[in-house]
């Protein structure tokens, strides 16, 4: 169970209480110590408070806002120092002057950090909520159209804030796109060729998918990696084709059972991201969806616990943030391991789980839509 405060007021109350304890604790502790040592303790605790506040909001900020935070901190510190120097320092000792300037500077820094925390730290998660259905090699064309029509007919049962995507087999794309025309349900493909055209028997290019009306394409799915030997080199080419033709990739990462039991799941996922996603431009990254699929849970009925899903999703976001900064906080990360109506609410309640890449449950309209109802109600 997630015990963090759920509302803005609750989180701000906790932040305010911690700040008060640090600052008042410093003042009271300082009063019990020799003057110079007490003031030193106060200055250290005030500095710690400022750093804690700044670190708490830092990851929520874009690069531009980080720059402004640094600018305003320096500006406030400079003004505070100038005020401290100009007012009544003639009769003070060197230590008292140092103490006064440091206190003014730190207080100014704390105030700026508090303001930024109030504005940005508890800003609600604005990432897209996505439920994407991967039909795999299931249904005949007529059955696929019927399924799409049933999803469309009952779409209004789910909040419009949830984005639905269906990814049928290649043979169904034209019919499904037509069945969903003028609706807000998007259509994606399950794969695309690594080349734009040519003598590649059996392949379907990204340009062909875009011409049909596809908006998304699944790339790097574990079954493609396992059965068809897709490598990072191949996936880099496919990603380039997707972007060149206006498709948004749903890039899949994940570990198998052997890798999970060996404790290598973090390394596997990191490598899959670094070898492909790290090659994207910021503009391309902004149009990418990540899907984590624990391979050992796909089609087996096993499911990662909500805590396991959150742990790896948070790790993925950290890896993305190392390359793309605050933009990683806007990237949807979907869970793709046997997600169904019964476990969707628990999974989707986690901070870094932004939806699901659904397999078997996507083949029944009622189940697919029910998963969309699993997002926390604000």
Residue 45: which residues within 8 A CB-CB, separation 6 or more?
Answer: 22, 23, 25, 26, 29
**Catalytic residue of the set 186, 259, 293, 313:** 293
Structure tokens at 174: 């034209």
Do 99 and 364 meet the contact criterion of CB atoms below 8 Å apart?
Answer: no
Q: Does the annotation count 221 as an active-site position?
A: yes
Backbone φ, ψ for residue 191 (5° rounding): -175, 165
Residue carrying the six token digits 């999970």 = 260
User: Does residue 293 have an active-site annotation?
Assistant: yes
Q: How big is the CA angle at 292 (ends 227 and 255), to the nearest 5 degrees?
A: 55
Residues ≥6 apart with Cβ < 8 Å to 107: 46, 80
Tell me the residue ranges of DSSP E strands in 81-225.
Answer: 129-134, 162-167, 186-189, 216-219
Tokens of 236: 């880099």
Question: Exactly one of 172, 221, 265, 313 is catalytic; which is it?
Answer: 221
DSSP 8-state class, residue 334 = E
Tokens at residue 191, please?
A: 């794969």
Residues with catalytic annotation?
221, 293
């Amino acid at each position: 169970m997630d015990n963090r405060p759920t509302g803005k007021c609750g989180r701000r109350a906790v932040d305010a209480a911690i700040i008060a304890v640090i600052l008042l604790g410093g003042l009271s502790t300082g009063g019990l110590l020799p003057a110079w040592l007490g003031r030193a303790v106060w200055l250290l605790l005030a500095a710690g408070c400022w750093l804690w506040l700044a670190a708490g909001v830092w990851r929520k900020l874009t690069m531009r806002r980080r720059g402004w935070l640094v600018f305003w901190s320096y500006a406030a510190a400079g003004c505070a120092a100038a005020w401290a120097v100009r007012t009544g320092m003639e009769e003070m000792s060197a230590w008292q002057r140092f103490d006064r300037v440091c206190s003014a500077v730190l207080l100014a820094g704390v105030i700026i950090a508090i303001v930024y925390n109030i504005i940005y730290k508890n800003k609600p998660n604005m990432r897209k909520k996505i439920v994407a259905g991967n039909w795999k090699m299931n249904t005949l064309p007529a059955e696929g159209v019927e399924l799409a029509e049933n999803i469309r007919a009952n779409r209004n049962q789910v909040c419009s804030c949830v984005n639905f995507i269906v990814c049928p087999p290649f043979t169904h794309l034209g019919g499904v796109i037509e069945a969903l025309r003028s609706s807000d349900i998007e259509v994606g493909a399950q794969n695309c060729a690594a080349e734009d055209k040519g003598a590649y028997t059996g392949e379907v290019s990204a340009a062909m998918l875009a011409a049909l009306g596809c908006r998304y394409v699944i790339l790097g799915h574990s079954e493609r990696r396992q059965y068809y030997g897709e490598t990072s080199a191949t996936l880099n080419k496919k990603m380039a084709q997707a972007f060149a033709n206006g498709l948004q990739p749903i890039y899949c990462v994940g570990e198998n059972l052997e890798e999970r039991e060996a404790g290598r799941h973090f390394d596997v996922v990191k490598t899959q991201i670094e070898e492909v996603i790290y090659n994207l431009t910021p503009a391309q990254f902004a149009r990418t969806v990540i899907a984590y699929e624990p391979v050992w849970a796909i089609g087996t009925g096993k499911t990662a616990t909500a805590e396991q899903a959150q742990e790896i999703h948070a790790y993925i976001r950290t890896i993305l943030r190392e390359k793309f900064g605050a933009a990683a906080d806007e990237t949807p990360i979907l869970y793709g391991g046997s997600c169904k109506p019964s476990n969707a609410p628990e999974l989707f309640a986690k901070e870094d789980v932004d939806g699901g890449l659904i397999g078997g449950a996507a083949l029944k309209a009622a189940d697919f839509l029910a998963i969309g109802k699993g997002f926390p109600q604000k």
